[in-house]
Structure 1
Amino acid sequence: MTRPLRYAALLAIPLALSLSASDAAAQAGKKKPDARTQAFGKKKPGGKSDPKLEEAKRLFDEGAKHYGEGNYEKAIEAWEMSFDLSKKELIFESIANAYERLGQPKKAHEYLSKWREAAPEEEREVLDARLKNLSERVAREEQQDKEREEQKRREQEAKEAEKREAAGSGLPVLGIALAGAGAAMVAGGVVLDVVAVGKRPDEAEACRAVGDRQVCRASDEDAIKTSNTMAYIGDVLWITGGIAAAAGVVLIVTQVTSSKPSADATALRITPVVGPRGGGFVVGARF
């Protein structure tokens, strides 16, 4: 190789290296366009603008401003209106980012999934990684929510058990009151019946049959009516008292047995019985 050719070759090498370095620098300095540019593109000078699209851009910028200020709810609201006007799916990614900042991974996953369906192929791998991370966060939060609900349920059951135990440990006041009142009414009714029998004159001596009628002396007739009235009131009292006393006993037994539950607990049943000639109650037990 002649000397001039060698000099030319030596000069060509630095020039080629310089061009390669310039190209690499240009590639390195090339940035991915921002979300607004990706969604709406650059404005063409002298081009006719679409009022609807311009409003969508304005709303997108408004949402970006709110997002930068930390007002994520307002950012979401503005971006959703921007999407309604423009139908640009890339806006879903911005909404997902805002929901993620709000600590709502479930909503973030929902909107990021919408953008993933329309995203370019080269972005889907990154989006899939984000979606996986969000899914894991959602699963953890749902598990934590379940654990909190279970803890609340256990605490509520414990409180109710304490209330039942406290109620069962006290005296069965209502049952005792009913049983006592019923016993008093039974006693009063029996006393009235006894008094009525004592005040009732002997009908064989005080009355006589006249045809198909029973005619009594006026003084004895008043005594008979008074006796009948007292007997009627006495019957009502002791029958009602018996029912009240039975109900009181049932309440007492129920409270005592419920405060000390046992598989071998005695089952007591009291049934009031009322008939045309009197009344009472039947007591049954199962051991």
Structure 2
Amino acid sequence: SFLEGSKYYELGQYPIAIEKFERAWELSNEPLLLFNLGQAYWKWFEVDPNPEHLRRAKQNFENYDKRMRGSAGYDPTEVHRYVERIGEQLAKAEETAEARTERELRAREESERRRMWIERERQVVTGLNASGITLITLGSLTLAMGLSGLIARQANKIVLDQSAGGPREVNLNSSEEDAKHRDAYLLGGQIAYAGFIIGGILLPIGITLKVLGGARERRALGRKDKKPKADVAVSPDGTLTVHF
């Protein structure tokens, strides 16, 4: 297992090398294998920057130092230097991981706030558009009603003018018919007046609401109004022409 672990370590296949070294350690309890495990975990961090690899590397070097301490010819200087360097790397890696986690959390919170804001804006836009369409429809209907009233008024006026005639002409309509046409004439005027006034109020309000709804929708979705592009051309006689 040790030889296989060394082979995979040289090939850069550190997870497999670690597996082989751990198996060899279970069989022999040779302290040098702890050193090899520390190196393998440390190298693994270079290709997979997971702070856990550094923690395991530091732990294996420290365990190696404990087992070798007091042995003849053992110099702990190198191992202590490794442990110190790994400790510095681990602190930086944990700080980086924490900062990354915090950044991702802030990004998710900002995304959620943005989503909720867009949803609220959509509801407002839907309300503005619905109100605008309703008012535009009502305004158009009242204008049409006013126009119908005006037409009816003019039609009854023509009938009354014809029935009145001149001083020498005979009125063929009865007094009841004249009264009916006069009432219709007055009613048509009232309908026309009311229709034009109400329609003149409702239509601008409805159009304004629709415009506001469109503007808020573009703002919520981050779209901007496209400005028309203009091409400028100068003719040989010096005339300036602008094409949109």
Structure with the greater relative contact order (CA < 8 A, sep ≥ 6): 1 or 2? Answer: 2
TM-score after normalising by structure 1: 0.38
Larger radius of gyration: 1
TM-score after normalising by structure 2: 0.45
* Structure with the bigger percentage of helix: 2
